[in-house]
Amino acid sequence: MIMSEAIHYDAIILGGGPAGLTAGIYLSRAKVKTLILNEGTIGGQMVLTHEIANYPGVESISGFQLSNIMKKQAKSFGCDIKANISVSDLDLSGPNKKVTLSDGTSYSSDAIILTPGGRSRTLGVTGEDMLKGRGISYCATCDGDFFTGKEIIAVGGGNSALEEAVSLTKYASRVTIVHQFDHFQAFEHAIGEAANNPKIDFMMESAITAFYGNESLESVDIKNLKTGVITNFKTDGAFIFIGYVPNTEFLKEKIDLNKWGEIIVSSDMSASIEGVYAAGDSIAKRYRQVTTAVSDGTIAALAASTYLNELKVKQKQLITV
Ligand SMILES: Cc1cc2nc3c(=O)[nH]c(=O)nc-3n(C[C@H](O)[C@H](O)[C@H](O)COP(=O)(O)OP(=O)(O)OC[C@H]3O[C@@H](n4cnc5c(N)ncnc54)[C@H](O)[C@@H]3O)c2cc1C
């Protein structure tokens, strides 16, 4: 591994989803020398979304397309973007923040914006790990097509679960939604759309307790949570939509997180260390959408920009004294 001298930026953004890309657009447009470092494909969770129909001003667009537009926009203002990187060390403590990548490259900055987003939560039951990608999926857009004409299960009761179950009916002949409560935690229109879809059945107050199969998923055990009775159901596929985990493991002990691992921020998106801001799905908040990520990213960028300007004034004063 080659250890190089840190390349300095005014601001570094860790995460290239909608929150990070928006922060990149705002900072670069304000002539702040900015670098976005992203683990994985630029766009974050957006690229998993086959259709975004609730982004104001755009009636319908694929998440992949929207990501590309945001990326192009950030680059057009001079923002540097590096994707598919892996952060091996992060020092947020002093005024000079330092990010080291697993290839030995390192970058420093005066301000940093954390936008690592989140990932799908797993059920953690028998057979799930073994059958992941062999009948068990967490992404309708990525895998729905593999289940054309098949009978499948969708687990969950939030907006994502209901919307994704509806999108799966484009492929599957039947989608049974398994949900642990007797009611959904979703918007009325999402519930209505699922309820009115003739290909969707509901199994309420029920939970999957095991997955079975050899080459691919063959059946699941479903427990009736009211009676305790477990029944085995044959199925070709199971899609799990039960929420997310913030990608903040690398921030433990470095910044204040709440008990769910979400980054604690003030209303200007500043985190617990001076010069560090956070935005998007990884912060402590209730609603997680592209629009909320974009809004958080805007606020974080404006606050970071103000911080950087004040820093410059302080540095100038020190020189003249
Ligand atoms: C299946 C699905 C459908 C959805 N549909 C919609 C919809 O229709 N409308 C809508 O508004 N929202 C939708 N959402 C939600 C929306 O995609 C998210 O709220 C939004 O993408 C969050 O943006 P973010 O930038 O905070 O994080 P993310 O989109 O999660 O992006 C974070 C990025 O940071 C990277 N990263 C992680 N750790 C690090 C690290 N240590 N260093 C550097 N980079 C890191 C990740 O790889 C990722 O690329 C959907 C989500 C899913 C999963």
Q: Which of 12, 22, 41, 46 to mutate to test the pocket of ligand 1 (most atoms within 8 A of CB)?
A: 46
Cβ–ligand 1 contact at 115 (below 6 Å): yes
Give 62-85 pLDDT, tens digit per residue. 899 999 999 999 999 999 999 999
Ligand 1 center from residue 277 Cα (angstroms): 17
The total of other beta-carbon atoms located within 10 Å of residue 77's CB is 16
Domain presence at residue 2: no
Handedness of CA 156, 157, 158, 164 (dihedral sign): positive
Please identify, among 240, 264, 299, the residue that sits at the C-terminal boundary of a domain.
240
Q: Do 248 and 116 belong together in one domain?
A: yes
Q: Do 141 and 116 belong together in one domain?
A: no
Q: Do 226 and 142 belong together in one domain?
A: yes
Q: Please report which confidence band the pLDDT of residue 173 belongs to, taking 50, 70 and 90 as the band edges.
A: very high
Domain presence at residue 69: yes
Residue 317 clears pLDDT 90, i.e. is over it: no
**Residue 310 belongs to what domain range?**
7-120+244-320
Give 43-64 pLDDT, tens digit per residue. 998 887 777 888 999 999 989 9
222 SS3 class = strand
Domain presence at residue 279: yes
Taking residues 12-39, what's their average pLDDT?
A: 98
Q: Crossing angle for the helix pair 290-320 and 18-29, nearest 10 degrees? A: 40
Pair of tokens at residue 148 = 């054309």
Domain presence at residue 292: yes
Ligand 1 center from residue 2 Cα (angstroms): 31
Q: Do 274 and 181 belong together in one domain?
A: no
Cβ–ligand 1 contact at 243 (below 6 Å): no
Domain presence at residue 1: no
Cβ–ligand 1 contact at 160 (below 6 Å): yes
Residue 53: predicted pLDDT: 82
Domain presence at residue 212: yes
Residue nearest to atom 49 of ligand 1 (CA): 44
Residue 198: predicted pLDDT: 98
Taking residues 286-303, what's their average pLDDT?
A: 94
Look at the pTM and tell me if it is higher than 0.85: no
Residue 1: predicted pLDDT: 53
Cβ–ligand 1 contact at 280 (below 6 Å): yes
130 SS3 class = helix
Please identify, among 192, 222, 240, the residue that sits at the C-terminal boundary of a domain.
240
| Domain of residue 173, CATH code | 3.50.50.60
Ligand 1 center from residue 107 Cα (angstroms): 24
Percent of the chain with pLDDT over 70: 98
Taking residues 270-279, what's their average pLDDT?
A: 98
Domain count, the chain: 2
Please identify, among 206, 222, 240, the residue that sits at the C-terminal boundary of a domain.
240
Residue 4: predicted pLDDT: 67
